[in-house]
């Protein structure tokens, strides 16, 4: 008996849920756009807040880091040039050209 009463209650609940219409397409789109606009605004507020926390390097640090990068690039170029030249020489000896 309890099962029949539960079944009736479920049916009546389902009928009442169907009678409540969901908002039309344009209302749902409007709500979505409003939510998106709030999310975008929050994102930019958070970005602004985080940018205030950034510790930027000094001019001296930038110059030092740039010099280190350039020196490493030159060293790497010389190593690649040396390896390339040696492999070409070995290949020429192996082929006999």
Q: What ranges do the domains of the chain cover? A: 1-54, 56-97
Q: How far is CA 58 from CA 23, 68, 89, in A?
A: 56, 16, 47
Q: What is the rounded CA–CA span in Å between residue 97 and residue 91? A: 9
Tens of pLDDT, residue by residue over 42-56, are: 889 999 999 999 999
More confident residue, 28 or 40: 40
Residue 23: DSSP 8-state? P
Tens of pLDDT, residue by residue over 11-24, are: 666 555 556 777 77
For the whole prediction, is pTM greater than 0.85? no
Q: What is the rounded CA–CA span in Å between residue 35 and residue 58? A: 40
Q: State residue 82 phi and psi, 5-degree precision.
A: -65, -45
């Amino acid at each position: 008996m309890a099962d029949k009463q539960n079944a009736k209650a479920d049916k009546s609940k389902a009928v009442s849920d169907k009678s409540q219409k969901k908002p039309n397409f344009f209302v749902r789109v409007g709500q979505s756009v409003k939510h998106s606009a709030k999310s975008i605004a929050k994102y930019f507020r958070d970005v602004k807040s985080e940018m205030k926390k950034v510790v930027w390097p000094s001019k001296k640090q930038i110059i030092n880091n740039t010099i280190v990068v350039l020196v490493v690039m030159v060293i790497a170029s010389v190593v690649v040039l040396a390896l390339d030249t040696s492999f070409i020489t070995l290949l020429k000896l192996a082929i006999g050209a």
